[in-house]
Chains A and B, each alone.
Chain A
Amino acid sequence: MQADEKPVLSTRDLTIRFGGHVAVDAVSCDFHRGTLTAIVGPNGAGKTTYFNLISGQLAASSGHVWFNGEDITRMSVADRTLRGIGRAFQLTNLFPGLSVRENARLAVQAHQRMGMDLFSMADSHVELIQRAEHILAEVHLLDKAEQITSELSHGDQRKLEVALMIAIGPQVLMFDEPTAGMSVDEVPIVLDLIRELKQDKDRTILLVEHKMDVIRSLADRIIVLHNGELVADGDPAEVIASPVVQQAYLGVAPEEKEEGAHV
């Protein structure tokens, strides 16, 4: 990690409140090119909300999101996506009634900004289809290109989810629990995929994940959210061992006294 290089993505005092509840509380963090950062924290810590603020599904109450030196805090989801922030969702989020190829083709087409083309035939843009197929090959789905997406296995849907993200040519890739709800034999496929994506040093990867073994094998850095606040940031081994993480995951300290009093 080159610390002197300008960050690709950074958040400054990023905050969102729902009523009185502060879900993400003044989180400032930089993400650099070529790194994979894992975001951990217990349930309800604000990880997915933090993702939503970066990719634009939620509007920040205060604070800023910067991307390549541009303030994107008030930008629409589509604009952020076109600028290069890709997102794979926690719950698979695809076009269920369309074929796998069409799913990928749509994402490539969005990247080429050809959506408003009204009078050419979609199927006549061969280079687009080839690009889509190339991406499907990358995630090992090319042989299922003709299938209707809703008929795919869950693991394959997750792969397609990743394919859609790659197809938009992202600089930042955000994975929200990519292995959740997957069977044991499907998990390594997705992890290998992330590992491959990581090879490209132009890419910046953000990963929300709970399985510590996964994090240890993939992450360059860990940040910990707890009750919406960023409580730890640094080298994976150190952060995992830090008391603050221990406390966030295993419970609160005052309890020990209580225990003593009662037992």
Chain B
Amino acid sequence: MMMKLLSGDSPRSKMLSAVLLLILFGLMFAPFLFPGTRSLDTAARICIFIVLVASYDLLLGYTGVVSFAHTMFFGIGAYGTALALVNMGASYSAIVLGTVCGALVAGAFAFVIALFSLRVKAIFFAMMTLAVASAFLVLISQLSGITGGEDGLSYRIPREMTPAFKLIKEKVLGVRLNGKLITYYVVFFSSLCLFLVLLRMVNSPFGRVLQAIRENAFRAEAIGYKVVRYRSVATILSAVMAALAGSLMAIWLRYTGPATTLSMDIMVDILLMVVIGGMGSMYGAVIGAVLFLLTQSYLQDLLGILQESLGSLPVVSDVVSPERWLLWLGILFICSIYWFPKGVVGRLRGT
């Protein structure tokens, strides 16, 4: 049963299994284990980014295609849901309709991009997606009449999903059972399902073909797989999954703007998460997202302490200043590409 859920793709390492179980447990009981708005927000972001990063890994790690348009698809999903909620009011049907439309539009966009550029060199595809995604970002920022421009969109979601809604009056284990909690679990279980679906996809006959294409596209074609078609489908699937993650983000934040969904900074973050966690393994996405977001939220505190103790040295204190955490992750990222290309997961598996 367990193996079937994991699609036969076991972590293959005691250490990795333990870490994954810890993460699962931590996220499942996050509201009770780590009470507080900030930690719940971090937990929800982790759930959503696991899906987002895993869907990116489908493309980068499994198919060997570098795309910089992943945040565009993430944004399309988020804006789809957001626009539906803004225009149709806070209803469940708006959420469903927005999510479905977002996913469809993302898939269609991905199809067009694939049509144009997947026949050519990886570099070409990377440049093209970067340009298209940036133009999309600018377009969204400028169409302020529809998208709210730089300010983004704030909207209401159904009352049952807001903090104002109380499930029961009493606190359970010191935690108030309100609508926010419900939303968290909606996010958590949706993410879990999406992740398991992705895990199934990469372990399906289709997923194996993607790996074959990554290993040797020429030969994949010569045993009867149409490489362009498979790459296109992978691009579309990855885009749809990213859009669904975007919808979850829209619901969780009750706000959608360029900075939270479309920005190139997020694209870089995703890249860092995939590579540091481990390309070509869905579990790498989990580890990468957890590691990165925890660092983002809490390492700054740590570096802040470090900086205070080094306060007197001018350059050193700049380099370890809390705002410069990305510098260190960037260096870690480059090092991992060179020295442990299978990332943390590869390390834990001892390969």
Contact = CB atoms under 8 A, between A and B. Distances in A.
Contacts of A87: 222
Interface of B is mostly: helix
Given A96-B216, A121-B8, A123-B8, A109 B205 contact: yes
A116 B204 CA distance: 9
Interface residues of A, number: 39
A124 B201 CA distance: 13
Interface residues of B, number: 29
Interface stretch (B93-101, B158-166, B223-231): B223-231
Contacts of B209: 106, 109-110, 115
B204 A121 contact: yes
Nearest to B211: A98
Contacts of B224: 78, 81-82, 107, 110-111, 113, 168
Contact of B204 (A93, A97, A122, A168): A122
Interface in B155-205: 200-201, 203-205
B205 A120 contact: yes
Contact of A106 (B7, B218, B223): B223
Contacts of A167: 223
Contacts of A123: 8, 203
B215 A81 contact: no
Nearest to B6: A121
Contacts of A96: 215-216
B347 interface: no
Contacts, number: 101
Interface string A122-161: 1111000000000000000000000000000000000000
A113 B225 CA distance: 9
A258 interface: no
A114 interface: yes
B72 to A, nearest CB: 23
B230 A77 contact: no
A89 B223 CA distance: 12
B126 interface: no
Nearest to B200: A119
B208 interface: yes
Nearest to B209: A115
Nearest to B205: A117
The residue among B201, B209, B227, B233 with the most chain A CB atoms within 10 A of its own CB is B209
Given A117-B206, A120-B205, A123-B8, A81 B200 contact: no
A122 B205 contact: yes
A93 B206 contact: no
Interface of B: 4, 7-8, 200-201, 203-209, 211-212, 215-216, 218-227, 230, 233, 237
Given A57-B222, A94-B216, 6 more contacts: A89-B219, A98-B215, A115-B230, A117-B204, A118-B204, A121-B4
Closest 6 pairs (CB-CB, A-B): A110-B224, A95-B215, A81-B224, A117-B205, A78-B226, A82-B224
28 contacts: A57-B222, A78-B224, A82-B224, A93-B218, A95-B211, A98-B215, A102-B208, A106-B209, A106-B220, A106-B223, A107-B223, A109-B209, A110-B223, A110-B224, A110-B225, A115-B209, A115-B225, A118-B204, A118-B237, A120-B205, A121-B8, A121-B204, A122-B205, A123-B8, A123-B203, A124-B8, A164-B223, A168-B224
